[in-house]
Amino acid sequence: MEAFKTLNSGVAPLNRVNVDTDQIIPKQFLKRVERTGFGQFLFNDWRFDEKGNEKPDFVLNQDGYKDASILVSGRNFGCGSSREHAPWALQDFGIRVIIAPSFADIFHNNCFQNGVLPVVLPEDVVQKIIEHSENDPDYRITVDLEAQRVWDENEEIVADFNMEPFRRHCMLNGLDDIGLTLEDEDDITSYERERSEHGGVVPA
């Protein structure tokens, strides 16, 4: 998993509450066995019409927003079913940070496992970021995980956010569950060697 420290990016404003995982990645695309390639289906029903043409009024289809790595949205982002494909699709599309007043618990946890940083900010701050980005497609903000701070270029918006230390450590070092296990690789190898040498039993 790619480590995350600081990101300066344009902002895609998705001014909706209760954005659910069924919209983030619709169910018909869950049959794929790979963890990659889901970005093309992100927000499929909002991005495309029934003929597969882009809807010009959807933010991620608009110049100035389609290449943004930061998505800002309303409260309870990621509600609905617990599919891990939702952060897969966001990450594969190029979204590294989601800012919202609140997240659904399972989606919030899944983000950390897949290199997407969910940042909780007060609702009034989120609305200001949305308004600035809607009014100016060139609007940019910086998200600094080490400092746990978000700010824009003219420092009109400066906001701190809290994060569980363990989650922060994992994101800063690019550690998912496999990465955490590999931190103890030497001890695991030593244990397995002793176990093999003693017929499957490790001496006390």
Contact 103, 77 (CB under 8 A): yes
Contact 40, 22 (CB under 8 A): no
pLDDT number for residue 177 = 59
Alpha-carbon span 201 to 93, nearest angstrom:
48
- Return the domain boundaries, the chain: 6-197
pLDDT number for residue 181 = 52
Tell me if the pTM is above 0.85.
yes
Per DSSP bridges, beta strands 158-160 and 97-100 are unpaired
pLDDT number for residue 133 = 97
Per-residue pLDDT tens digits for 150-183: 999 988 999 999 999 999 999 999 987 555 554 5
**Residue 61's Cα: distance from chain center in Å?**
19
Mean per-residue pLDDT over the chain, rounded: 90
Q: How distant, in Å, are the alpha carbons of 4, 70, 117, 174, 204 from that of 96?
A: 9, 6, 6, 13, 46
pLDDT number for residue 192 = 58
DSSP assignment string, the chain: ----SEEEEEEEEE--SS-BHHHHS-GGGTT--SSSS-GGGTTHHHHB-TTSPBPTTSGGGSTTTTT-SEEEE-SSBTBSS--THHHHHHHHHT--EEEES-B-HHHHHHHHHTT-EEEE--HHHHHHHHHHHHH-TT-EEEEETTTTEEEETTSS-EEE----HHHHHHHHHT--HHHHHHTTHHHHHHHHHHHHHTTT----
Looking only at Cα atoms, what is the longest distance across the chain?
A: 69
Percentage of the chain surpassing pLDDT 70?
A: 86
Strand pairing partners for 202? none
pLDDT number for residue 175 = 87
For the segment(s) 6-197, the CATH number from 3.90.45.10, 3.20.19.10, 3.40.720.10, 3.30.390.30 is 3.20.19.10
* Average pLDDT value for residue range 127-153: 97
pLDDT number for residue 74 = 98
Contact 60, 41 (CB under 8 A): no
